[in-house]
Amino acid sequence: MLVVETVPELRQAVSQLRSTRRSIGFVPTMGALHAGHASLIDHSVADHHATVVSIFVNPLQFAPHEDLTKYPRPRTADLKICDDHGAEVVYYPAVHDVYPTGFRTTVHVAELGTRWEGAARPTHFDGVTTVVAKLFGMVGADIAYFGQKDFQQQTLIRQMVRDLNMPTQVKVCPIVRDPDGMALSSRNIYLSNAERASGLALSKSLLAAQQHWNQGDRDPALLMSAMQAILAAEPGLELSYASIADVETLEPLTSPQPVVVAMVAGRVGTTRLIDNAVLGPWQPL
């Protein structure tokens, strides 16, 4: 496995892969890799002749008061996971390599980024779409892999790819959960045992909505009240939002639909957690 730190090195590595292999998969990450990231690498390795992973804690998607400096950066462990799972190239740049002096261009996807996570983190999604557009341009992969866990993120990225006719396709991979139901996240390491127990209310509320759905309930208000009953009973959770929304526009729904996304977010202690479940058959656009 080759680790490169600059765009010219990355381009050279990718063109070497291209000369001998037919297809390239790409997994963009911010490091602190866990089994969820590993499963994205596994999907890419299964689908492609070569896989490129990027590890870059993107300052543009953090607000000044957020956890940029304390965001975990376990370089050795991260590179081992990439290697163990069959990545061929890892792009591990410094901030100035991605954002050189004089950098001015950003990518803004209108409307989709203002609700939900965007309401709590107004500059976040411009930072995400900007860095993903740059990484797509640097790597030139056939398909890039994103987790369903960041549901709004993958929605914005797919919209950006369609709107800007980007040649890299997006594949969304299922959420990986711990046995207790907690969705894996790099931020879970911040949680004490008590906070983790409170945070489990998120996945439990989604399970309740799923159970109602499986019994044939389609009324968004009914699904919402099943979620709210669990969330309201957890005093350690400061709820940001719970919603039954359209899978593509992310608008809250009031009438039954064949497929919906149940989204939930909240804070336990100082850690913000998000989770979601798609109810019904979903084929991302």
37 is catalytic: yes
Work out how close the CB of 13 gets to ligand PAF at its nearest, in angstroms, rounded to a whole number: 19
Q: Toward ligand PAF, which CB reaches closer, 170 or 262?
A: 170
Give the pair of three-digit tokens for residue 284: 């991302």
Q: Give the count of beta carbons closer than 10 Å to the beta carbon of residue 55.
A: 23
Q: Which of 17, 25, 29, 262 binds ligand PAF (CB under 6 A)?
A: 29
Length of the chain, please?
285
Work out how close the CB of 153 gets to ligand PAF at its nearest, in angstroms, rounded to a whole number: 6
CB 30 within 8 A of CB 153: no
CB 237 within 8 A of CB 267: yes
Place of tokens 């965007």: 118
**How far is it, in rounded angstroms, from Cα 71 to Cα 253?**
35
Work out how close the CB of 128 gets to ligand PAF at its nearest, in angstroms, rounded to a whole number: 5
Q: Taking CB under 6 A as the rule, does residue 155 contact ligand PAF? A: no
Strand bridging mode 260-268 / 2-4: unpaired
Q: Give the count of beta carbons closer than 10 Å to the beta carbon of residue 85.
A: 20
Would you give the binding string for ligand PAF spanning residues 101-130, x where CB under 6 A is met? ---------------------------x--
Number of residues this chain uses to bind ligand PAF (CB under 6 A): 10
Q: Taking CB under 6 A as the rule, does residue 30 contact ligand PAF? A: yes
Q: Taking CB under 6 A as the rule, does residue 185 contact ligand PAF? A: no
Would you give the binding string for ligand PAF spanning residues 192-211, x where CB under 6 A is met? --------------------
Distances in whole angstroms, Cα of residue 263 to Cα of each of 147, 231, 240, 277: 14, 12, 11, 7
Tell me the catalytic residues: 37
Which residues of the shown chain bind ligand PAF in the complex (CB under 6 A)?
28-30, 58, 61, 128, 131-132, 150, 153
